[in-house]
Amino acid sequence: MSQNSHITIEEGSTNVYADLGYADAAEMQRKSQLAAEIACAIKARRLTQQGAAALLEIDQSKISRITRGQFRGVSEAKLLELVAKLGHDVKIVVGPVRRRAGKIELQFA
């Protein structure tokens, strides 16, 4: 790199999907968090993809796609169901907010 080169660094937000301009950025971030939790749970249980597919009652190819972060076409509800089938409690809390629109966030214990 020459001495005249200038590197611009732009600080991103906490949501890479928003930074990339996705219209459904918040949903994509939640789905990516769920997919990561599914992958961790499968690894922690030492399941093969075939074993996970049998336990979760879905195709092995879908397990492969989800654990590689390819979850478009898989609903948040389905991902939550898979997390529950892998032995996690899923709790959804609905409450009032002071803003015009509420938000959805995930917390992992």
In a domain, 62, yes or no: yes
Residue 21 lies in a domain: yes
- Residues in the chain predicted with pLDDT less than 50, given as ranges, are none
Q: At a CB cut-off of 8 Å and minimum separation 6, what does 28 contact?
A: 17, 22
- 5 within domain boundaries: no
Average pLDDT, the chain: 89
According to the model, what pLDDT value does residue 59 have?
Answer: 95
Q: Determine, yes or no, domain membership for 51.
A: yes
Q: Is residue 70 part of a domain?
A: yes
- Residue 53 is part of which domain span? 16-85
The answer to whether residue 80 sits within a structural domain is: yes
Residue in 16, 39, 20 with CA at minimum distance from that of residue 29 = 16
Per the domain annotation, does 8 fall within a domain? no
Domain tally, the chain: 1
CATH code where residue 73 lies: 1.10.260.40
DSSP string spanning 13-59? -S-HHHHTT-TTHHHHHHHHHHHHHHHHHHHHTT--HHHHHHHHTS-
Q: Round to whole Å and give the CA distance between 93 and 40.
A: 24
